Structure 1
Amino acid sequence: MENPITIPKSSLDFLQQLKLNNNKPWFDEHKPEYLIELNHIQNFADALLKALSKTDVLENASGKKSVYRIYRDIRFSKDKTPFKTFWGGSYTRATAARRGGYYFHLEKGNSFLAGGFWGPNAADLKRIRAEFDLDPETFQKILNSKSFKNTFGTLQGEQLKTTPKGFDPNHPAIDLLRFKQFLIMKHFTDDEVLSYEFLGQALETFKNMRPFFDYMSEVLTTDTNGVSIL
């Protein structure tokens, strides 16, 4: 049986060294090491993409292109360190009928898989809130499911401190109506990330996002009468 794709310890260790030496001269000197570790991450991302593509339709052409560049955009940042100190990447669901995206973040002591809607536009946010106003129970059922709670715990994301305009502060779903982002996340220990089981665990985590994605996709592709807008 073929060995599963794994993340080697050296891939996390390299990031630790980069964190201590976050400058271009050091990086240029250690570029060969970086390329070796990048290849490990790209192979993992490719294996995960292929496995995930069996159950979802994705835009990504390859795992290699799914991995983010290590170079930070420092043009508008107070932090001028030039390099990221984590491995990150994402997969986008294909076609207008499928909303949401999958994200992975690998870093010593801070690895997680996440998904959802980081910055929904005003129209999408308005539509989601309208659905929560009409029928919060369907979404609450997903959040309270055993699979969701065991994998992600609770819905995360930035929330308003006040009541969104046009809604009753005593609305039974006011906690949902205050959300401005809709994120779900699962953290992993270093030992879990480096284990042979991690690829399977990552795939299972992403699969468990599907009820959440499917709900949001249906809401965002229909009007409040349930009629398709596509």
Structure 2
Amino acid sequence: MLQAKTLQFLKDLVANNNREWFQENRKRYDDAKADVEKLTAHLIREVHTFQDLGNLQVKDCIFRINRDIRFSKNKEPYKSNLAIAIGAGGRSSGKIDYYLHIQPNGHSFLGGGMWSPTTEQLARYRQEIDYNAQELKDIIEVKDFKAYFPEIQGESLKTAPKGFAKDHPELDLLKRKQMFFMHAYSDKEVISKDFAEEVMKGIRLLKPYCDYMNYILDHTEE
């Protein structure tokens, strides 16, 4: 569904990451953005058939290509990717959603999961794992899920978190500081006519995990 010229623009941007070149090639960027917006609109419609997204609009999903360079040693003004987040509330919801990252040379991927939890959220996650890890394992150890998302991504503690035994049977899960999943796409896959369908396959597989994590991280006892 995406066009080859969208990936080519991003490739050229990497080699010419400056404002002068970007302004000279503004029409190419506008075309690439419109290409991603078209894909986003399609994905919103498809996801909305099985998940309430509220009044989610395309503009709520797409991330800015401009980088925040105020506190970064890297002063390149633009990102080398185009990215979207699909979920109720869009990219700024604070919820776990479906993140699609478009970047040439095999760096495109679909992902989702616990990326930057608060201290309280991490405590709730660990409490749930201690109480009933099987519910999570029944989601992420399903054959089809593991085939598409074979590895847990993200950082872990080196030792058991405070308050948990070093021989806890679910120690690997308890040590997680992050827990997200990614499936990479080749450039050939990204520009294939079946790309949107392939992304939807991944989103459907991710949904039970995202639902579980959103409930755990947002749930508070009354």
Gaps of 5+ in 2: none
Structure 1 or 2: more helix by fraction? 2
Residues 1:60 and 1:74: Cα distance change in structure 2 (over 3 Å): farther
The 8 Å contact of residues 122 and 217 in structure 2, kept in 1 or not, is answered as no
> In the alignment, is the contact (CA less than 8 A) between 2:113 and 2:213 conserved in 1?
no
Matched, 1:80 2:36: no
Q: Which residue of 2 aligns with 1:106?
A: 102
Q: Is the CA contact 2:114–2:213 (under 8 Å) kept in the aligned structure 1?
A: no
Q: Which amino acid aligns with 2:187?
A: D
Would you identify which runs of 4 or more consecutive aligned residues in structure 1 move more than 6 Å? Answer: none
Structure 1's 26 and 221: CA in aligned 2 closer, same or farther, altered over 3 A? closer
Shift of 1:177: 0.3
1:36 equivalent in alignment to 2:34: no
**Aligned counterparts of 1:138 and 1:61: Cα–Cα separation in 2:** 30
Is 1:7–1:194's contact at 8 Å kept on the other side of the alignment?
yes
CA separation of 1:113/1:174 partners in 2, compared to 1, >3 Å: closer, same or farther?
A: same
After TM superposition, the structure 1 = structure 2 runs for residues 1-230 of structure 1, keeping only pairs within 5 Å, are 6-58=1-53, 61-93=56-88, 99-108=95-104, 109-222=106-219, 229=222
Distance 1:42 1:222 in 2: 33
Shift of 1:221: 4.9
What TM-score, normalized to structure 1? Answer: 0.89
Return the offset for 1:34: 1.0
Q: Tell me the CA shift for residue 64 of structure 1.
A: 3.4
Q: Does structure 1 conserve the Cα–Cα contact (< 8 Å) formed by 2:56 and 2:88?
A: no
The more displaced of 211-220 and 74-83 is 211-220
* 1:59–1:91 contact (8 Å) kept in structure 2: no
Alpha-carbon distance in 1 for matches of 2:55, 2:68: 22
What number of residue pairs does the alignment pair up? 217
* Contact 2:53 2:87 survives alignment (8 Å): yes
Q: Structure 1: which 5+ residue stretches go unaligned?
A: 1-5
The TM-score with structure 2 as length reference comes to 0.92
**Secondary structure class of the residue paired with 2:31:** helix
CA–CA distance in structure 1, aligned partners of residues 54 and 96 of structure 2: 12
- 8 Å Cα contact 1:156/1:182 also seen in 2: yes
Helix, strand or coil: the match of 1:208? helix
- Answer yes or no: is the 8 Å Cα contact 1:143–1:154 preserved in 2: no
Q: 1:218 to 1:30 in 2, by over 3 A?
A: closer
SS of residue in 2 equivalent to 1:209: helix
Q: RMSD of the TM alignment (CA)? A: 1.7
- Identity fraction in percent: 35
Q: 1:211 Cα deviation (Å)?
A: 1.5
